[in-house]
Structure 1
Amino acid sequence: MNEYYYTPNPDVVHELHTWKYELLGNDLKFTTDNGVFSKRTVDYGSSTLVKNINMDKIPAGNILDLGCGYGPMGIALAKNYPNRIFEMVDVNNLALSLAQKNAEQNSVKNVKIHNSDIYEDVKDRFAAILTNPPVRAGKKVVNDMISGSLEHLVKNGTLTVVLQKKQGAPSAKKLMNSLFGNCKIIRKDKGYYILESTFEG
């Protein structure tokens, strides 16, 4: 029986919950289920990333929410930035069906939601990639999410990652620095680090 949220089809007993969460000044409504990450509330790391990403300095173009889960980061930002398209991908089909439902119930239309195992079915380059990576899936998955971003960013595009210090933020920062030649900690909060690198092309 496979219940892990970072697998394509978690084998779970369904138990849908719908709840409200205020983010970026909007009262959002999310429906979640067993078999998805952070089903009872928006994960603190995700909400911290969303509140600290500087959308004004990101170049023109679409945004990728990599490992979107049931959609809190992409939906919250898409609601506030209706002129941007947010592509939201995950390997978990249950999470994606919930993300679709959550986009609809929050009247968010500027999203493209589809399955992708990391970057496997991601074709474009983006103005920004943001991710709260699935640490439990292992270090290789997290590192592949970071290193693969280079092939999917436009010039001056940004990669923004949230990780807890105890779950590998320092080594992720080191990897981002070696790949991009830069990495800033844009926020530290309750053990969470928001790391950002700019692709200088």
Structure 2
Amino acid sequence: MSLIIFYDLIRPQRRKNMSKMYYAEMPDAAHDIHDLKVALLGQGFHFYTDAGVFSKKKVDYGSQVLLNALDLERGKNLLDVGCGYGPLGISLAKVQGVQSTMIDINSRAIDLAKKNAERNGVVAHIFQSNIYENVSEKFDYIISNPPIRAGKKVVHEIIEGAFDHLNQGGSLTIVIQKKQGAPSAKVKMENVFGNAEIIRKDKGYYILRSEKL
């Protein structure tokens, strides 16, 4: 077997493994630090990113659509599930004045998020947690750009667990592409919360919201 043919055979599995790398407790990818300068919610932010975290070279479009769909009440508390290096929770704390708690399974992402919060003048509670495993309190808002490539089971666990971690009247808001399961996620949210709505669509991205009534 030639080297080229062998590489073609292993390449799909390699891509699959790399796509899931950011959903790991201890990524083993070689460090590749980037310094992002980006405008979010009308303000400038600086973020350190690295290999082994989601969307290291830019704040992904789905996160930006989610941010622009949110209008949160100042002083309320928010949980950012799967925070990555922190663009959602940090920008919402700084611009909309919420009290951000940020969690991720990825230890490298958590280290970056802590540095990025300090770098952008934001006080936030940031810690490692596999979904809600280490979360004990309840929140007014839960948001997530869920790790789609980690599988449907993980996305549904984020939706299911949100109900018990929301205050009465609180809401879960997530972003998912239509082609990556937004319709089924909406059905799941309806089953868990008794309600779900599409509050925004943008280039195939759906922003879905459910309230704990």
Does 2:49 align with 1:32?
yes
SS in 1 for 2:31: coil
Of 22, 25, 47 in structure 2, the residue corresponding to residue 5 of structure 1 is 22
List runs of 5+ in structure 1 lacking aligned partners.
Answer: none
SS in 2 for 1:30: strand
What is the alpha-carbon root mean square deviation over aligned residues?
A: 1.4
Does 2:209 align with 1:196?
yes
Partner residue, 1:175: 188
Q: Distance in 2 between matches of 1:100 and 1:186?
A: 30
Partner residue, 1:52: 69
**Higher fraction of helix:** 2
SS in 2 for 1:146: helix
Give the TM-score normalised by the residue count of structure 2: 0.89
Does 2:161 align with 1:161?
no
1:41, distance to aligned residue in structure 2 (A): 0.5
Alignment length (residue pairs): 196
Runs of 4 or more off by more than 2 Å in structure 1?
A: none
Structure 1 vs Structure 2: percent identity of aligned residues?
A: 53
Partner residue, 1:149: 162
Give the TM-score normalised by the residue count of structure 1: 0.94
Amino acid at match of 2:79: L
1:81, distance to aligned residue in structure 2 (A): 3.0
After TM superposition, the structure 1 = structure 2 runs for residues 85-164 of structure 1, keeping only pairs within 5 Å, are: 85-109=99-123, 111-164=124-177
Amino acid at match of 2:196: C
List runs of 5+ in structure 2 lacking aligned partners.
Answer: 1-13
Q: Distance in 2 between matches of 1:90 and 1:69?
A: 6
Q: Distance in 2 between matches of 1:187 and 1:172?
A: 15
- CA-to-aligned-CA distance 1:49-92 (integer Å, 9 cap, x gap): 11111214x9x64100000000010011011133x310000000
Does 2:80 align with 1:65?
yes
- Whether the aligned pair in 1 keeps the contact of 2:71 and 2:96 (CA below 8 Å) is no
1:169, distance to aligned residue in structure 2 (A): 0.2
- CA-to-aligned-CA distance 1:122-157 (integer Å, 9 cap, x gap): 001100000000011111000000011010000110
